Amino acid sequence: MTFDEMKQQMATKKGFLAALDQSGGSTPKALQGYGVADDAWTGDEEMFAEIHKMRCRIVTSPAFGSGGVIGAILFEKTMEGCLEDGSPIPELLSRRGVVPFLKVDMGMHDTENGVQLMKDMPRLNEMCARAKELGVFGTKMRSVIHEANQEGVAANVRQQMDFGLQILDNGLVPILEPEVSLKSETRPQAEAQLLAAMLDQLNRVPEGEHVMLKLTIPSEANLYRPLVEHPKVLRVVALSGGYGRDEACRELAKNEGMIASFSRALLEELRVQMDDAQFDQALETAIDEISYASAT
């Protein structure tokens, strides 16, 4: 796919984004859920090798190329990895009609003013250049809002846009992900503050350019409709945020125009011990259910 074809797909095609971007902090839990015991690997290199095998099994499954998955977010090591035949993973995804994205954030600072801001990204331009070279369409970066704090929420969204504009300058489309924690005791107020801050920050996006947004499914259905309909927003996708798949799909379906970008809710029933037929069936079921919830 060309860049313009990828952009058209992200703007209009039915389906969802698969989040396959677990990093060092979240990989052990993902492997445990997949059925890989902690004593099966020692050190980061072996850990990432195990998660790479899981991701390769997912993206080469017939179910993954069936049309329900329209995009996939990759960890840097996955982007740089190859399949057994030597094919770069972004190239395989593109051939299968799946738009590749790259997770670029380097983790977060401790909570201050009710939010966790992202750490600096000194390699951002370098990562964007490499991603573009490999045929990647866009990026994703995550920060977290824990409570309704006007100053903190504004700073969180402003930082997302600061990096987003830098990514746009590198010729990629950024997914901004200021996640509102499902555990927040002031979640509805935090979501309202996020909406106002994001609408303000979108004024900074140059005419003719677009960003994507990855947001927690809001407690008030269709709260983010102004973002879904905003001319500078290519697509609004939803994170599962700790919901199981059934609940995540049920909550997502209440929000017109939002599509899924699930990780745990996509992978929760996959196990390393499954044979290929069982694995493909479990993945197909998950993709079908998430695609259906994304079709509202």
Per-residue HEC secondary structure of 261-294 comes to: EECHHHHCCCCCCCCHHHHHHHHHHHHHHHHHHH
Whether 163 has a pLDDT exceeding 90, the answer reads: yes
pLDDT band at 231 (very low <50, low <70, confident <90, very high): very high
Residue labelled with tokens 């890989």: 36
Whether 289 has a pLDDT exceeding 70, the answer reads: yes
CB 104 within 8 A of CB 119: no
pLDDT attached to residue 189: 98
Whether 125 has a pLDDT exceeding 90, the answer reads: yes
pLDDT band at 131 (very low <50, low <70, confident <90, very high): very high
CB 170 within 8 A of CB 129: yes
Please say if 220 is a catalytic residue: no
Task: State the chain's mean pLDDT as an integer.
Answer: 94
Token output for 65: 């190329």
pLDDT attached to residue 24: 64
Torsion angles phi and psi, residue 80, rounded to 5? -80, -15
**β-strand pairing of 138-145 with 115-116:** antiparallel
Whether 121 has a pLDDT exceeding 90, the answer reads: yes
CB 98 within 8 A of CB 124: no
Going through the chain in order, the beta strands assigned E by DSSP cover: 16-20, 69-74, 99-103, 115-116, 138-145, 173-180, 211-216, 233-239, 259-262
pLDDT band at 86 (very low <50, low <70, confident <90, very high): confident
Helices (H), 20-148: 27-34, 43-60, 76-80, 89-95, 124-133
Please say if 214 is a catalytic residue: yes
Whether 257 has a pLDDT exceeding 70, the answer reads: yes
CB 9 within 8 A of CB 99: yes
Residue 186, class by beta-carbon neighbours within 10 Å (0-12 exposed, 13-18 middle, 19+ buried)?
Answer: middle
Of 205, 264, 288, nearest in space to 26 by CA: 264
Q: How far apart are the C-alpha atoms of 22 and 198, rounded to whole Å?
A: 26
Average pLDDT over residues 185-190: 97
Lowest mean pLDDT among 70-84, 87-101, 120-134: 70-84
Point out the catalytic residue in the list 177, 191, 251, 289.
Answer: 177
Q: Tell me which H or E stretch contains 4.
A: helix 3-12
Average pLDDT over residues 196-208: 98
Residue 153, class by beta-carbon neighbours within 10 Å (0-12 exposed, 13-18 middle, 19+ buried)?
Answer: buried
Whether 154 has a pLDDT exceeding 70, the answer reads: yes
Point out the catalytic residue in the list 179, 214, 251, 289.
Answer: 214
Q: How far apart are the C-alpha atoms of 116 and 184, rounded to whole Å?
A: 13
